[in-house]
C-alpha cells in the first residue's frame, strides 16, 4: 500500500495544483489525505484510490483555505472542480517537477523539493540521504516551497532544468538507507512515461546504463574500481538491455541531445565484453557530438581520455592543453596518460597531486594508491 500511495502522491498533488491551489497548501492537503488513507484503506481499499485521494485532499485544501481565509478575513477563494481525465494527469509529473526545479531555486533546494513533493520521500529520509539534521532539511524544503508558492503555474517550465536536477539526484548515489540513484531513476521513468521527449529518454537510458555497472564499481573493502578493472560479470545485463532499447528508440527520432550522446558513450562501454574490446573510435565520435551540445571542461577532459585511447597517450596529453589546471580530475587524467606514455615519475607526481585535491575519500584513497603503486615500482 505504501508503494501505491507513493506512486499516487505526485498525481494527486498535480491535480490540486493544476486547479490553482497554492503549492505548499496543496502539499499539506495531500499529506493529510495520505494519513487518512493509511488509517482507512487497510479495512477497505477504495475502487478508485486516486479519485479517493483527490476527493479527500481537495476537501482538506478547501477546509484549510477556509480557515486561512477566515483567519485573514478574506473571501473564500473560488475553487473549481477539475475536469477529471487521464489526459491531464499525464502532464502532471512534468508540471510538478518543473515547479520543483524552478530557476529561482538553488540545486540543493530543487533536489530536496523534488524528492519530497514528487518522490514522496519523508523529510527524515531526505535529511538522512544528504547527511544533514532533519530540522535543517525541513527548513530547506519549507524555504523552497515559500520561494515558489507565489508563482502560479499552469504550464511546465524548462524541461532542461528538470533533467539537470534529476541527473544531480542520480549522481548523489547511495549514502545511507535511501538510494537516491534509484529514486532518480524512478522519477525519470515516471517523467519519460508522460513526456515525449528523446532527451528525457536519453537521460533515463544514461542512468540505467551507469546504474548497471554499480555492483562492480566498489571492491569488497569499499575502494573504487576503475572501469577498465571492473568485473564485467557483475554488470546488470537486464538494465543494460533496457537502457540500450530506450536509447535506440530515442536516437531514431533524430532529435539528438547531450543526454542521448552521453548515454551512447555509456552504452558503448557497457557493450564491451572486456576493456580491450571497447570501441574507442566510436566513443570518440560521440564525444565530438556531445561537444556540439555541451563544451564544458569536464566533457573535454573525458574526451582527452578517449583521444588517448584512439590516437595514443601523447595525443591525449595534447588534448588536455588549455584545460584549466584547477579542473578537478585533470591531474588524474594527465597522470593516467603519462603512465601510458611511459613517464612513470610524472604519472606518480600527478597522481599524488590529484589525491591531494580529491573531493571524496574514496577517490583520494584510490589516487593515493595509484601514486604509491608507481612509486613502489620506481624504487
Partner 1 sequence: MAKYLLLKHYRGDHELAPGGIVPMDQWTPEEVSAHMAFMGHVADELRKRGEFVDAQALSPEGTFVRYDGDGKEPVTDGPFAETKDLIAGWMIIDVDSPERAYEAAAFLSSAPGPGGRPIKEWIEVRPFLGEVPAETE
Instruction: Give the DSSP letter string of 141-183.
Output: HHHHHHHHHTS--SS---HHHHHHHHHHHHHH-BSSSSBHHHH
Q: Is 326 in the site for partner 1 (CB under 8 A)?
A: no
Please select the residue that binds partner 1; options are 145, 329, 359, 363, rule is CB under 8 A: 359
Rounded to a whole number of angstroms, the minimum distance from the CB of residue 200 to partner 1 is 36
Rounded to a whole number of angstroms, the minimum distance from the CB of residue 235 to partner 1 is 24
x/- track of binding to partner 1 for residues 212-251 (CB under 8 A):
---------xxx----------------------------
Q: Is 149 in the site for partner 1 (CB under 8 A)?
A: no
Stretch in the footprint of partner 1 (CB under 8 A) among 135-143, 174-182, 281-289, 369-377: 369-377
Strand partners, 224: 218
Interface size with partner 1, residues (CB under 8 A): 21
Centroid of chain to Cα 356: 28
Tell me if 339 sits within 8 A of 347, measured CB to CB: yes
Rounded to a whole number of angstroms, the minimum distance from the CB of residue 128 to partner 1 is 14
> Given the complex with partner 1, which of 133 and 193 has the nearer CB atom?
133
Q: Is 150 in the site for partner 1 (CB under 8 A)?
A: no
Rounded to a whole number of angstroms, the minimum distance from the CB of residue 339 to partner 1 is 14
Rounded to a whole number of angstroms, the minimum distance from the CB of residue 363 to partner 1 is 11
**Rg for the chain, CA atoms, rounded:** 24
Tell me if 355 sits within 8 A of 371, measured CB to CB: yes
Rounded to a whole number of angstroms, the minimum distance from the CB of residue 357 to partner 1 is 7
Three-class secondary structure of residue 218 per DSSP: strand
The CA angle 362-363-366, to the nearest 5 degrees, is 85
Rounded to a whole number of angstroms, the minimum distance from the CB of residue 349 to partner 1 is 9
Instruction: Give the DSSP letter string of 124-136.
Output: HHHHHHTT--HHH
Compute CA distances 201 → 118, 172, 211, 298, 324, whole Å: 19, 20, 15, 22, 33
Q: Is 306 in the site for partner 1 (CB under 8 A)?
A: no
Residues 6+ apart with CB under 8 A from 47: none
Please select the residue that binds partner 1; options are 19, 59, 189, 357, rule is CB under 8 A: 357
Contacts with partner 1, residue ranges (CB under 8 A): 221-223, 348, 351-352, 355-359, 361, 364-365, 368-369, 371-373, 375-376
Amino acid at each position: 500500500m505504501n508503494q501505491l500511495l507513493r506512486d499516487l502522491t505526485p498525481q494527486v498533488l498535480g491535480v490540486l495544483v493544476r486547479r490553482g491551489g497554492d503549492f505548499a497548501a496543496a502539499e499539506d492537503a495531500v499529506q493529510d489525505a495520505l494519513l487518512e488513507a493509511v488509517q482507512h484503506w487497510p479495512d477497505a481499499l477504495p475502487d478508485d484510490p486516486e479519485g479517493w485521494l483527490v476527493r479527500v485532499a481537495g476537501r482538506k485544501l478547501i477546509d484549510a483555505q477556509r480557515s486561512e481565509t477566515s483567519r485573514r478575513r478574506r473571501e473564500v477563494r473560488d475553487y473549481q472542480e477539475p475536469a477529471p481525465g487521464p489526459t491531464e494527469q499525464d502532464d502532471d509529473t512534468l508540471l510538478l517537477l518543473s515547479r520543483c526545479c524552478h530557476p529561482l531555486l538553488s540545486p540543493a533546494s530543487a533536489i530536496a523539493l523534488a524528492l519530497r513533493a514528487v518522490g514522496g520521500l519523508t523529510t527524515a529520509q531526505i535529511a538522512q540521504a544528504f547527511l544533514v539534521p532533519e530540522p535543517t532539511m525541513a527548513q530547506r524544503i519549507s524555504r523552497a516551497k515559500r520561494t515558489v508558492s507565489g508563482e502560479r503555474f499552469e504550464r511546465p517550465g524548462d524541461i532542461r532544468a528538470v533533467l539537470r536536477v534529476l541527473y544531480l539526484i542520480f549522481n548523489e548515489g547511495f549514502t545511507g538507507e535511501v538510494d537516491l540513484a534509484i529514486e532518480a531513476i524512478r522519477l525519470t521513468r515516471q517523467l519519460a512515461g508522460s513526456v515525449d521527449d528523446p532527451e528525457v529518454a536519453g537521460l533515463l537510458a544514461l542512468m540505467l546504463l551507469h546504474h548497471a555497472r554499480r555492483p562492480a564499481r566498489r571492491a569488497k573493502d569499499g575502494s573504487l574500481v576503475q572501469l577498465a578493472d571492473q568485473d564485467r560479470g557483475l554488470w546488470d545485463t537486464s538494465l543494460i538491455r533496457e537502457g540500450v532499447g530506450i536509447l535506440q528508440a530515442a536516437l531514431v527520432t533524430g532529435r539528438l541531445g547531450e543526454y542521448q550522446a552521453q548515454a551512447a558513450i555509456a552504452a558503448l562501454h557497457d557493450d564491451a565484453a572486456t576493456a580491450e574490446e571497447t570501441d574507442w573510435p566510436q566513443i570518440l565520435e560521440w564525444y565530438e557530438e556531445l561537444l556540439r551540445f555541451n563544451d564544458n571542461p569536464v566533457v573535454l577532459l573525458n574526451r582527452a581520455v578517449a583521444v588517448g585511447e584512439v590516437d595514443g597517450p601523447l595525443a591525449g596529453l595534447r588534448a588536455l592543453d588549455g584545460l584549466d589546471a584547477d579542473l578537478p580530475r585533470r591531474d588524474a587524467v594527465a597522470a593516467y596518460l603519462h603512465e601510458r606514455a611511459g613517464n612513470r615519475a610524472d604519472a606518480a607526481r600527478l597522481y599524488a597531486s590529484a589525491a591531494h585535491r580529491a573531493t571524496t575519500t574514496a577517490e583520494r584513497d584510490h589516487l593515493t594508491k595509484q601514486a604509491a603503486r608507481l612509486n613502489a615500482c620506481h624504487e
